[in-house]
Amino acid sequence: MSLPFGTPPSGVSLTPFKVSIPKAKISELRTLLEVARFAPHTYENSQTDRRYGVGTDWLVTMRDLWLRSYKWNASEDRINSFPQFEAEVEGITIHFVSLFSQKKDAVPLLLLHGWPGSFLEFLPILQKFREEYTPETLPYHLIVPSLPGYAFSSGPPLDRDFGTGDIARVLDQLMKDLGFGDGYVAQGGDIGSRIARHLAVDHESCKGKSCPFLLPAESSGRSQYSLSPVNVVFMRKPEGVTDEHLNAFEIQGIERMQNFVATGSGYAIEHGTRPSTIGHVVASSPIALLAWVGEKFCEWVDDPLSPDDILESITLYWLTDTFPRAIYTYRQNYPPPPIPAANDPRWFIKKPLGFSSFPMELARLPRSWVEMTGNLVFWQQHQKGGHFAALERPDELKSDLVKFVDQIWPDVKSTS
Q: What is each CA distance from 381 to 131, 146, 359, 364, in whole angstroms?
A: 26, 28, 8, 10
Say if residue 415 is exposed, middle or buried (CB neighbours under 10 Å; 0-12, 13-18, 19+). Answer: exposed
Rounded CA-CA distance 364/249 in Å is 9
Active site residues: 190, 330, 387
Nearest-angstrom CA–CA distance, 122 and 82: 11
For the chain, the C-alpha Rg in angstroms (whole number) is 21
Measured distance CA(180)–CA(65) in Å, rounded: 43
Question: With b meaning 16 or more CB within 10 Å and e meaning fewer, what string describes 190-226?
Answer: bbbbbbbbbbbbebebbbbbbbbbbbbbbbebbbbbb
Q: Among 358, 362, 363, which Cα is nearest to 391's?
A: 358
Is the torsion defined by CA of 111, 116, 120, 121 positive or negative? negative
- Residue type present at position 73: N
- Give strand pairing partners of 209: 186, 353
> Is 208 within 8 Å of 197 (Cβ atoms)?
no
Query: Which DSSP state fits 366?
Result: -
Instruction: Tell me the three-class secondary structure of 298-363, residue by residue.
Output: HHCCCCCCCHHHHHHHHHHHHHCCHHHHHCHHHHHHCCCCCCCHHHCHHHCEEEEEEEEECCECCC
236 - beta bridge partners? none
Question: How many angstroms separate the CA atoms of 330 and 332, rounded?
Answer: 5
